[in-house]
Amino acid sequence: MARISIFGIGYVGVVAAACLAQDGHDVIAVDVDQGKIDAINAAKSPIVEKGLGPLVKKVVEAGKLCATSDVEWAINNTEASFVCVGTPSAEDGSVGLIYVTSVCEAIGAALAKKDAFHSVIIRSTIVPGSCEGTCIPTLEAASGKVAGQGFGVGYYPEFLRESTAIEDYYDPGLIVFGSMDRPTESILTELNVSLDCKIHSVDLRTAEMVKYTSNTWRAVKVTFANEIGNIAKSCGLDGQTVMEILCSDLKVNISPYFMRPGFAFGGSCLPKDVRALRHLAKANGVDAQVLNAVLEANSAQITRAETMVEHSQARKVGMIGVSFKPGTDDMRESPLAELAGRLISSGIGVEIYDPFVFEAYSEANSTAGRGNDAVPDLQSRLVGDLDTLIASSDAIIVGNIYKETLPELNEAALTTPIIDLARLDRSKVSGGSYAGICW
């Protein structure tokens, strides 16, 4: 069992303190608000949350949880500290770190007087880079010690929902944490190992980003559902029924396939259907800000890829794939075809390796090149041999992944600039002559 101090007896702090104490850990809650301290020590919850009052009473009376304002005493009597203070928006909309910084200063001052190793684990919601840019420098300055050596550092975001916080604590949908040292990673693993959920142990910034991504994704889903509801209502339909049916499809609509960062969407369905629904909304007098943003952002991703090619200074590129996705010769509204057309218009030479489009032309199919309205002289730009394409190109644009091409492309990446829109290999990230669009 661990001995843990929790700084901030707010919503997250008190729930975490009570649940950790119930699990058998010795917990000290720390705050500057004497009213909250008195409430905890009187075996009462300082906030209203389903089931929390009886739980606080139980663990305080069992001697597993107490509260104090004495930072040094809390640090000296625990081996790890959770920072659970608020991060309200600053006036410019940025994350407000005033409370986090203040707590880190106080903890650092106490660590300066403590010989034993102590882990400081941030649970407050902070943007990527905050631990490295604010928390760690503050702790080091106040303690006179080096992070990762004199004390540990971790970031452990929470995903609790108000009114179901205790249930969420014991039945999480996501567990992720970052750490810069083994002792901190071990503590966080120990606290979560009994829960029925995969543990993601990552770097500090990734853990910070996951928290913001989770919260923003929820906001996007609410806004999207509301927009669909508004459009449905304008058609005399029940938007909640529409969304309930949509969410029943776990194969496509609730699929991780469409949650993979990469290039723009295209094809015969998505672009035209988003446009059509947007037009219907406009005709019915409904603003469709989300649908507008979807189309604008999709176009911007093509522009992003175009800019990457420009930065490579290649005058002739070889494109891997031109259809809207691998496994088909369908080029209807293919973002790769749009990219190829833009590059050609700018004076860049373009040759294309696409086995399915190539096959359609080779067999003289009447539908060869179907949907192409972006790439001039498409047939003459197709190359059937990948090695020939690579040898004649200043840079390679990977648009579609064809498994048989992976060995040659990974070898080519050693000597030829690669602009990767599909991700050849999860181990590759932008650097040197390799550029990934989202990684």
Q: How many helices and strands in the chain, by DSSP H and E? A: 18, 13
117 is known to lie in a ligand binding site = no
269 given a catalytic annotation: yes
266 is known to lie in a ligand binding site = yes
211 is known to lie in a ligand binding site = yes
260 is known to lie in a ligand binding site = yes
- Residue 293, token pair as written in the block: 């943003």
332 is known to lie in a ligand binding site = yes
159 is known to lie in a ligand binding site = yes
User: In degrees rounded to 5, what are phi and psi of residue 436?
Assistant: -100, 140
1 is known to lie in a ligand binding site = no
User: Hunting for tokens 């609410």 — which residue is that?
Assistant: 222
Residue 65, beta-bridge partner list: 27
Task: Tell me how crowded residue 406 is: count the other CB atoms within 10 A of its CB.
Answer: 13
Residue 434 and residue 439: Cα distance in Å, rounded? Answer: 10
428 is known to lie in a ligand binding site = no
Buried b (16+ CB within 10 A) or exposed e, 320-337: bbbbbbbebbbbbbbbbb
In the DSSP assignment, the letter for residue 431 is: B
Residue 355 and residue 384: Cα distance in Å, rounded? Answer: 7
Number of residues assigned to the chain: 439
358 is known to lie in a ligand binding site = no
161 is known to lie in a ligand binding site = yes
Residue 135 and residue 148: Cα distance in Å, rounded? Answer: 13
162 is known to lie in a ligand binding site = yes
Q: How would you class 256 by CB atoms within 10 Å of its CB: exposed for 0-12, middle for 13-18, buried for 19 or more?
A: exposed
Candidates 197, 235, 247, 269; catalytic one: 269
CA 98 to chain centroid, in Å, comes to 25
Binding residues for substrate: 159-162, 211, 258-262, 266, 325
Binding residues for NAD(+): 31, 36, 87, 125, 162, 272, 332
Which residue ranges are tagged as binding site? 31, 36, 87, 125, 159-162, 211, 258-262, 266, 272, 325, 332
* Residues annotated as catalytic (active site), given as ranges: 269
